[in-house]
Amino acid sequence: MKNIKFYKMGEMPLEQHKVRVVQKLHLVPIAERLNAIEEAGFNTFKLTTRHVFLDMLTDSGTNAMSDQQVAAMFQADDAYAGSESFARLHQAVEDVLGKKYFLPAHQGRAAENIICKAFVKKGSIIPTNYHFTTTLAHILDNGGKVEELLCEGALDIKSDNPFKGNMDVEKLEACIQKHGAENIPFVRMEASTNLIGGQPFSISNLMDVRHVCDKYNIMLVLDASLLGENAYLVKQREDHWHENTLGDILKMMTNLADLVYFSARKLSSSRGGGICTNQKSLYSRMEALIPLYEGFLTYGGISVREIEAMAVGLRETLDETMISQSPSFIKYMVETLDKAGIPVVTPPGVLGCHVDAGQICSHLSQSEYPAGAFAAALYLISGVRGMERGTLSSIRDENGVEVLADAELVRLAIPRRVFTLSQINYVIDRVMWLYDHREYIGGLKFVYEPPVLRFFMGGLEATSDWPERLMAKFRKDFGDSL
């Protein structure tokens, strides 16, 4: 966001866009919300738009599109093979990400499927700054394992470390020595590490990781789904990069990686995904998998209209007024809650405001899913839908024992240019009320637990009548307010 100073209003984010198409919202009464969350098995993924007031589940596919993106969708070339739309996207990938070979995939996890099918085998070890749920699932599915090599203090909720997404390069060296370079098909760096609160890595850290990869001749893979925001925070926070353009920073980061993949649902405010590289040999190892799993090489399972929106969206990633909007709202929300003494991940990152439900619900054990319970409780008292990012989103080991998450977070996503500041203030207000009444929040237990990615469709129930008691307290305090 440009540095625009207010006269008497203090410091707050100022939108650099105007709203021209809107979608009506509905805040249904709390009794309806109680029914809805019970029917959804206390899983916010299973709520429907009809029952959600502010949808802060994710930024994935929910960022607002620009007028230019929507306009571009009308010029789509619906050819099965050799589409002009794909040619425009290919050019945008080359211009923005600096890679000349490009494979389209229908979304980020589809790109992960292709990469893992091509490179991961039984016994493979994938060192990463931190895993993402779908990445881990694909690595495990292909017989590999992940080694989390986060830097010291990355999981501290309250912190002033500007780059909590950095990889610990000493641990990386030790990991390679332990497992042998031949068992490590690639090292994975994720931009703005999703699961630990949208925290970025620095360019100097990426350079150090590259250096180790070169030393052992290991491929470096960059998950660029949140690369634009990572670049923005590098510009804000890292010495030597303050004066560079976002384009320079993005290219610097992608140049350091052998393979770059992304979810276009995030990176370019569209739907789709892809993999790009400058190495023909890497491209060739994956090429045949695209028609098998995705679609022909010039659409990869993505609608041509979305391909056009993706091409424009990728170029718009370089626009600082666009890319800074979500991080500046997140900063506002995080700092306001932090000042009020509510535990949230600091420093403010990207993607959303991450509330530490582990600390707030310290009366619950991790196996009672405090983050899931907090997300359900917040929905009940506000109509705001967040996402559990804790033990519910974790897995069971090969013996069926639950792997407790490193942190019990609830993510309140702030997709690009979707919410107004008064809506953010409403969320802050309701989080404050819930924090003051946190003793009302009880546990959850599974009644239906899918074997893979259980958090998406799993069904739970409350371990007591706490939702009813929370609703009664809300009514007492708020009267007839929704």
Of 422, 442, 472, 374, nearest to 30 (Cα)?
Answer: 472
Q: Is 394 in the site for ligand PLP (CB under 6 A)?
A: no
Q: Is 113 in the site for ligand PLP (CB under 6 A)?
A: no
Q: Which residue is nearest to ligand PLP (CB)?
A: 108
Among 43, 63, 194, 268, binds ligand PLP (CB under 6 A): 194
Q: Is 199 in the site for ligand PLP (CB under 6 A)?
A: no
Closest contact distance (angstroms) between CB of 40 and ligand PLP is 20
Q: Which residue's CB is nearer to ligand PLP, number 134 or number 336?
A: 134
266 among known catalytic residues: yes
Give the active site residue among 33, 271, 305, 389: 389
Binding track over 339-378 against ligand PLP, x by CB under 6 A? ----------------------------------------
Closest contact distance (angstroms) between CB of 26 and ligand PLP is 26
245 among known catalytic residues: no
The amino acid sitting at 22 is V
Among 190, 238, 306, 408, binds ligand PLP (CB under 6 A): 190
Provide CB contacts within 8 A for 144, sequence distance 6+.
116, 120, 121, 122, 123, 124, 125, 126, 185
Q: Which residue's CB is nearer to ligand PLP, number 54 or number 351?
A: 351
237 among known catalytic residues: no
Q: Which residue's CB is nearer to ligand PLP, number 266 or number 416?
A: 266
Binding positions for ligand PLP, 301-340, rule CB under 6 A = none
Backbone phi and psi for residue 34, each to the nearest 5 degrees, phi listed first: -65, -45
Q: Which residue's CB is nearer to ligand PLP, number 163 or number 466?
A: 163
Residue 269: which region, alpha, beta or left (left: phi > 0; alpha: psi -120 to 50)? left
How far apart are alpha carbons 190 and 351 in whole angstroms?
Answer: 13
Provide CB contacts within 8 A for 19, sequence distance 6+.
none
Closest contact distance (angstroms) between CB of 285 and ligand PLP is 20
Closest contact distance (angstroms) between CB of 132 and ligand PLP is 4
Among 43, 66, 83, 107, binds ligand PLP (CB under 6 A): 107
Strand pairing class (259-263; 273-277) = antiparallel
**Rounded to whole angstroms, what are the CA distances from 87 to 93, 104, 360?**
10, 12, 50
Closest contact distance (angstroms) between CB of 110 and ligand PLP is 7
Q: Which residue's CB is nearer to ligand PLP, number 226 or number 381?
A: 226
Binding track over 37-76 against ligand PLP, x by CB under 6 A? -----------------------x----------------
164 among known catalytic residues: no
Q: Is 263 in the site for ligand PLP (CB under 6 A)?
A: yes
Binding track over 122-151 against ligand PLP, x by CB under 6 A? ----------x-x-----------------
Of 411, 445, 451, nearest to 44 (Cα)?
Answer: 411
Torsion sign, CA atoms 108, 110, 111, 112: positive
Q: Which residue's CB is nearer to ligand PLP, number 134 or number 268?
A: 134
Among 225, 254, 317, 324, binds ligand PLP (CB under 6 A): 225
Closest contact distance (angstroms) between CB of 345 and ligand PLP is 16
Give the active site residue among 109, 188, 251, 266: 266
Of 73-81, 103-111, 173-181, 472-480, the window that binds ligand PLP (rule: CB under 6 A) is 103-111
Closest contact distance (angstroms) between CB of 131 and ligand PLP is 9
Task: Give the residues across from 125 on adjacent strands.
Answer: 145
Binding track over 153-182 against ligand PLP, x by CB under 6 A? ------------------------------
Give the active site residue among 133, 216, 237, 338: 133
Kindly determine how many residues on this chain lie close enough to bind ligand PLP according to the rule CB under 6 A.
15
Task: Give the residues across from 367 on adjacent strands.
Answer: none
Q: For the chain, state the CA radius of gyration.
A: 22
455 among known catalytic residues: yes
Q: Is 273 in the site for ligand PLP (CB under 6 A)?
A: yes
465 among known catalytic residues: no
Q: Is 251 in the site for ligand PLP (CB under 6 A)?
A: no
Of 219, 296, 277, nearest to 93 (Cα)?
Answer: 277
Q: How far is CA 481 from the centre of its chain?
A: 33
261 among known catalytic residues: no
Task: Give me the active site residues, please.
Answer: 80, 132-133, 223, 266, 389, 455
Residues that bind ligand PLP (CB under 6 A): 60, 107-109, 132, 134, 190, 194, 223, 225-226, 263, 265-266, 273
